[in-house]
Amino acid sequence: RRRETDLHEAFARGELTLAYQPVLGVRSREILGFEALLRWQHSVEGAIPPSDFVPLAEETGLIVPIGAWVLRQACAEASLWADPIRVAVNLSPVQFRDPGLVATVREALALSGLAPQRLELEVTESVLLAASEANVATLHALRQLGVRIAMDDFGTGYCSLSYLQRFPFDTIKIDRSFVNRLGDDPHSTAIVRAVIGLGASLGIVTVAEGVETEAQFAHLRAEGCGEVQGYLFGRPAPAAEARRLIRREP
């Protein structure tokens, strides 16, 4: 079990870093943006995945200062990229309990000079669970800043559809558990088709996550999915690698 003091010290020592994974347009196959993903580069253990320390950061509240750092870092990095390439940042439901969240996002944008429409904030449905009128209000306040709001891991929650009614998301990220089984499992295939159709009729961009094979990509293209992310196009990688990927673009 990891300890709060270890995580606190790691954060202070600068052992937390961001990896960037490309998001591509399905038709153009060009890079449209990157998702920023937190990593703990431990001096002894090497790279520790977020599943190993984000829950601890949430329990202890450390996710608030860490999340503020992630926002500043990701916006600063994205400000170096060619316009209009975007950056997506994951927000924990715990960050929504922080009354300073909207100011933190505003400051990250101001400090970096990044145009707000180039920042997308990813939330999971836990942010919209019952009795979270305050969170819905916060989402509207964030949207007022001009940033985009994405629903992450779509389809894994027990009530994903109802959340589309509670807030007008800009983007739906189709969970990789459905993308994985595209073509093999008729249910997953039907669900992906339905979500893409839903996005099209509501004017919401659909992003398929976890695309690993050309067959999955061809399937998503045939169904009219807007954007893709996954190992087929690029693994999460250091900022320098993201910059190289962008420069190689025509």
Contacts to ligand G by CB under 6 A: 21, 37-38, 49-51, 54, 63, 67, 70, 90, 92, 152-153, 176, 209-212, 230-231, 236
Tell the smallest beta-carbon distance from residue 90 to Na ion (Å).
8
CA diameter of the chain: 50
Nearer to Na ion, 81 or 154 (CB): 154
Query: What does the alpha-carbon distance between residue 14 and residue 37 come to, in Å, rounded to a whole number?
Result: 15
Would you count residue 227 as binding Na ion (CB under 5 A)? no
Nearer to ligand G, 192 or 211 (CB): 211
Strands 171-174 and 119-123: unpaired
Nearer to ligand G, 163 or 201 (CB): 163
CA angle (179 as vertex; 173, 183 as ends), nearest 5: 145
Would you count residue 153 as binding Na ion (CB under 5 A)? yes
Chain center to CA of 191: 21
> Which residue in 98, 122, 125, 175 binds Mn ion (CB under 5 A)?
122
The footprint of Mn ion on this chain (CB under 5 A) covers a number of residues equal to 3
Nearer to Na ion, 209 or 227 (CB): 209
Nearer to ligand G, 90 or 171 (CB): 90
What is the helix (H) or strand (E) element at residue 17, kind and residue range?
Answer: strand 16-25
Going 156 to 163 to 127 to 129, the CA torsion angle's sign is negative
Q: 15 phi and psi, to 5 degrees?
A: -85, -5
Q: How many CB atoms lie under 10 A from the CB of residue 214? A: 9
- Binding at 21: pick from Na ion, ligand G, Mn ion, none (beta carbon under 5-8 Å per type): ligand G
> Which residue in 98, 120, 125, 152 binds Mn ion (CB under 5 A)?
152
Tell the smallest beta-carbon distance from residue 72 to Na ion (Å).
23
Among 29, 141, 162, which Cα is nearest to 151's? 162
The piece of 6-14, 79-87, 120-128, 159-167 that touches Mn ion (CB under 5 A) is 120-128
Cβ(220)–Cβ(26) below 8 Å: yes
Nearer to Mn ion, 10 or 88 (CB): 88
Cβ(38)–Cβ(55) below 8 Å: no
Q: Give the binding site for Mn ion (CB under 5 A).
A: 90, 122, 152
